[in-house]
């Protein structure tokens, strides 16, 4: 030891670290750093983009392999808690890690061609997206409110930058600044919630909070309940639940479309990971207090998400509102607070990731130059002019509406039947009504796709060819959504194995 | 000894604070601020809070004042600053609120306990409690930072990387291509009135030129 005359001793001994548990996070972070290094060292533009995409995909693949090993490990040997209780690796965390990683991989694919044609800086984009995904994976296994908070920042801050990435478009800048201001505000609210919860329980560990609450009875509930409420606000913002959804349409519309795909799928999964863990691990004893709050969030999200979508005319905004409504369905599964409900929510998150990435994948190639012509009129007659592209958009839109034989139908069915199982008939009815209202707007998109534009004839020469990266994403998402709709058994088992908290 | 130190540095802190407010030159104000911050660091040392003292010197006296001076230099030192308040109520409101805070502190200092912690009049806490009983305060901070919250502390590094990359991405002049293309020579498709601001021709019609003029 260097101590010399000072008594340093050896009293500070670092905690045990299970590197398997944090392996996927490290893989993504290392990939991001390598991308930055490559960008700094190599000068030629073309190879840099190729190499950084390759490094990024390699990182995602490595993380995927590690997640597979983790899954077998924790399913057979049970939960792993490591790094002084800050990381809790269980099947639940691995499952949502898989959702996040799948969404990340597909978003990287989408970005590959998008960045090239919009002439944007590719390596920085990949690095930021990988770091954001690392934050999301941290979030899915976080067992401490401080870790949840840092992970929340690590996943959000790259997204603020990515939303504003296409700085030549004013709407992208607006999207970034709006997301940043509101996101920073919601982070502050979340942090205040942590402070109050810590004040009431004396710990920031999720399992520690649960232990404290089961061993002690609080005479004054005010501080803890206020803390819990603020935590719900912070996470409600991230998953875009009403009334914390105001940013969603503008940000989704303005952000580059691959970023929107990433935000709507991966961020939602990470946000729900924290929400499920918070409610299920830390506050199971307070279920009578938080269930009404979640009920309110779910009903409002369903109502606003479905009804407000009807008056929109921009396809990206419609999908933004529909993502709000989807958050409402997922919240139903949380609200019923049964194993079945959680299973349905997890299943929904998995399938929704494919549905929404698929829809946004079509959007990246459907319109002509730029990324700001997404009104319904621009899509009119798309399926007549380009049957495959238009047909696929119609498919994903109908899947989101919940048409049978698609994954969207099965997930909604699961959510509703879990609500009925738990005796929450009212909630199930609200959900069905919202689905009916939302079906109207989805059908409106589908009809627009198949009606002739009339007036000026569309110039087919300006149409963008579907490149192979996007084609791969479309193939995967279509297969996944169909597979989930026709043979949901395997997916349901996967989700069921992940519902132990 | 402690008392002497306290009064010397109390005078220095107050003198520095007055200097900040009364100096005409903003650079002098910033330097007076250093004096106040260093004096406060000495108070922390007198309270056995070595780590806070070190942080006070490194973060406040070091980084933040440098940042102040940086901004002052950036905006131009010799520019005449108008001391007129744009909002008239600001000054009386500031005086009233300042007086209120002072009264609050004096009131709380007269009590043994305030907000659950001991005040200047309360009995000092010896040692501490529980597992930390024989740790000094740097060891306690180390324990929290490198054991209890090590994972959170580590992933903060990721945040720093994001901050650097994000700042560069957003601050770089839009459309600038540092590699393969000479700066200042617009690519053929960018030629025209908007050249250099990186606008695509079809965007120029619907958007204000941005990015170039902002800096």
Of A146, A157, A370, the CB nearest to B166: A157
Average pLDDT of span A247-264: 91
- Assigned token pair, A317: 């905004």
Residue A148's pLDDT is: 94
Residues of chain B contacting A168 with CB distance shorter than 8 Å = 174-175, 198-200, 203, 207, 210-211
Residue A235's pLDDT is: 93
Residues of chain A contacting B135 with CB distance shorter than 8 Å = 11
Angle A329-A335-A339 from CA coordinates, rounded to 5°:
100
B179 in reach of chain A (CB within 8 A): yes
Cβ separation of A87 and B149 shorter than 8 Å?
no
Instruction: Give percent above pLDDT 90 in chain A.
Output: 40
Identify the residue with better confidence: B179 or B82.
B82
Residue A324's pLDDT is: 93
Average pLDDT of span A444-459: 72
**Domain layout of chain A by residue ranges:** 23-497
Residue A129's pLDDT is: 94
Looking at CATH, the fold of the domain delimited by B1-77 is given as 1.20.120
Residue A105 has pLDDT above 50, yes or no: yes
Q: How far is A386 from chain B (nearest CA, A)?
A: 24
Q: Nearest chain A Cα to B169, which residue?
A: A124
pLDDT in tens, A184-210: 999 999 999 999 999 888 889 999 999
Q: Compute the count of residue pairs across chains A and B with CB atoms less than 8 Å apart.
A: 121
CA-based nearest residue to A267, from A343, A195, A186: A186
In sequence order, the β-bridge partners of residue B118 are B113
Instruction: Give percent above pLDDT 90 in chain B.
Output: 23
What separation in angstroms does the CA of A10 have from each of A273, A457, B83? 38, 79, 56
B159 in reach of chain A (CB within 8 A): yes
How many Å apart are CA A162 and CA A176, to the nearest integer? Answer: 7
The DSSP-derived string for A128-146 is: HHHHHHHHHHHHHTB-BHH
pLDDT in tens, B44-93: 888 878 888 999 999 988 888 888 888 888 877 666 666 666 777 888 89
Residue B120's pLDDT is: 57
Q: How far is A392 from chain B (nearest CA, A)?
A: 28
Residues of chain A contacting B158 with CB distance shorter than 8 Å = 29, 131, 134-135, 154
Q: How far is A148 from chain B (nearest CA, A)?
A: 8
Residue A251's pLDDT is: 92
Cβ separation of B166 and A173 shorter than 8 Å?
no
Cβ separation of A168 and B151 shorter than 8 Å?
no
Residue B181 has pLDDT above 70, yes or no: no
**Domain layout of chain B by residue ranges:** 1-77, 134-172
What separation in angstroms does the CA of A133 have from each of A82, A294, A351, B147? 21, 26, 18, 25
How many Å apart are CA A342 and CA A447, to the nearest integer? Answer: 35
Residues of chain A contacting B199 with CB distance shorter than 8 Å = 168
pLDDT in tens, A366-395: 766 666 677 777 788 888 888 888 888 889
Residue A479 has pLDDT above 80, yes or no: yes
What average pLDDT does chain B have? Answer: 74
Cβ separation of A168 and B198 shorter than 8 Å?
yes
Residues of chain A contacting B170 with CB distance shorter than 8 Å = 161, 164, 167, 176
CB neighbour list of residue A483: distance below 8 Å, 6 or more residues apart: A407, A491
Residues of chain B contacting A164 with CB distance shorter than 8 Å = 170
Angle B69-B72-B75 from CA coordinates, rounded to 5°:
150
Residue B208's pLDDT is: 40
Q: How far is B192 from chain A (nearest CA, A)?
A: 16
Cβ separation of B169 and A161 shorter than 8 Å?
yes
Q: What's the whole-model pTM score?
A: 0.82
How many Å apart are CA A235 and CA B3, to the nearest integer? Answer: 50
Of B152, B161, B175, the CB nearest to A144: B152
């Amino acid at each position: 030891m260097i101590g010399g005359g000072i008594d340093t001793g050896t009293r500070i001994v670092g905690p045990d670290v299970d590197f398997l548990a944090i392996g996927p996070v490290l893989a993504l972070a290392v990939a991001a750093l390598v991308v930055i290094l490559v960008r700094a060292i190599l000068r030629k533009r073309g190879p840099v983009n190729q190499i950084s995409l390759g490094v990024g995909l390699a990182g995602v693949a490595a993380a995927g392999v590690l997640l597979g090993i983790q899954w077998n490990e924790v399913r057979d040997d049970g939960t792993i808690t490591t790094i002084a209780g800050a990381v809790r690796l269980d099947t639940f965390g691995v499952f949502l890690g898989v959702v996040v990683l799948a969404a990340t991989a597909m978003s990287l694919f989408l970005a590959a061609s998008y960045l090239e044609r919009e002439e944007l800086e590719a390596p920085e984009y990949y690095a930021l997206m990988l770091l954001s995904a690392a934050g999301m994976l941290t979030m899915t296994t976080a067992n401490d409110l401080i870790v949840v908070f840092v992970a929340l920042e690590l996943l959000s801050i790259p997204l603020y930058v990515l939303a504003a990435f296409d700085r030549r478009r004013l709407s992208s800048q607006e999207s970034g600044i709006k997301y940043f201001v509101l996101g920073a505000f919601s982070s502050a609210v979340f942090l205040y919630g942590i402070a109050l919860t810590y004040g009431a329980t004396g710990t920031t560990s999720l399992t520690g909070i649960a232990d404290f609450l089961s061993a002690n009875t609080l005479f004054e509930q005010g501080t803890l309940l206020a803390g819990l409420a603020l935590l719900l606000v912070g996470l409600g913002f991230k998953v875009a639940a009403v009334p914390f959804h105001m940013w969603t349409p503008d940000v989704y519309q303005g952000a580059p479309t691959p970023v929107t795909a990433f935000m709507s799928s991966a961020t939602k999964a990470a946000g729900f990971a924290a929400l499920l863990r918070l409610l299920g691990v830390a506050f199971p004893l307070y279920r009578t207090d938080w269930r009404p709050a979640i009920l309110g969030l779910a009903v409002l999200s369903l109502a606003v998400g479905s009804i407000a979508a009807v008056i929109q005319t921009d396809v990206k905004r419609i999908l933004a509102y529909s993502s709000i409504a989807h958050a409402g369905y997922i919240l139903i599964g949380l609200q019923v607070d049964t194993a079945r409900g959680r299973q349905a929510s997890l299943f929904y998150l998995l399938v929704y990731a494919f549905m929404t990435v698929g829809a946004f994948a079509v959007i990246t190639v459907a319109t002509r130059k730029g990324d700001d012509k997404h009104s319904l009129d621009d899509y009119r007659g798309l399926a007549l002019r380009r049957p495959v592209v238009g047909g696929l958009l119609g498919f994903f839109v109908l899947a989101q509406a919940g048409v049978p034989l698609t994954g969207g139908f099965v997930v909604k069915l699961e959510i509703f039947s879990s609500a009925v199982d738990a005796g929450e008939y009212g909630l199930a009815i609200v959900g069905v009504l919202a689905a009916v209202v939302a079906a109207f707007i989805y059908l409106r998109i589908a009809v627009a796709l198949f009606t002739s534009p009339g007036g000026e004839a569309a110039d087919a020469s300006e149409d963008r060819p579907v490149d192979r990266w996007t084609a791969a994403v479309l193939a995967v998402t279509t297969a996944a959504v169909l597979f989930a709709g026709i043979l949901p058994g395997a997916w349901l088992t996967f989700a069921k194995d992940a519902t132990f908290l | 000894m402690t008392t002497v130190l306290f009064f010397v540095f109390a005078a220095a802190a107050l003198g520095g604070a007055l200097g900040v407010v009364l100096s005409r030159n903003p650079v002098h104000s910033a330097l007076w601020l250093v004096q106040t911050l260093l004096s406060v660091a000495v108070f922390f040392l007198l309270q056995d809070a070595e780590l806070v003292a070190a942080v006070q010197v490194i973060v406040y006296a070091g980084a933040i004042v440098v940042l102040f001076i940086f901004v002052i230099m950036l905006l131009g030192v010799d520019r005449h600053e108008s001391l007129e308040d744009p909002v008239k109520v600001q000054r009386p409101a500031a005086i009233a609120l300042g007086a209120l805070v002072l009264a609050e502190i004096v009131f709380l200092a007269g009590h043994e306990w305030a907000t659950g912690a001991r005040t200047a009049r309360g009995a000092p806490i010896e040692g501490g409690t529980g597992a930390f009983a024989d740790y000094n305060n740097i060891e306690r901070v180390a324990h929290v930072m490198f054991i209890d919250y090590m994972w959170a502390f580590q992933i903060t590094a990721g945040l720093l990387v994001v901050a650097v990359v994000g700042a560069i991405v957003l601050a770089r002049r839009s459309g600038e291509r540092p590699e393969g293309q000479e700066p200042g020579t617009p690519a053929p498709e960018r030629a025209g009135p908007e050249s250099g601001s990186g606008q695509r021709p079809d965007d120029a019609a619907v958007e204000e030129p941005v990015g170039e003029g902002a800096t």
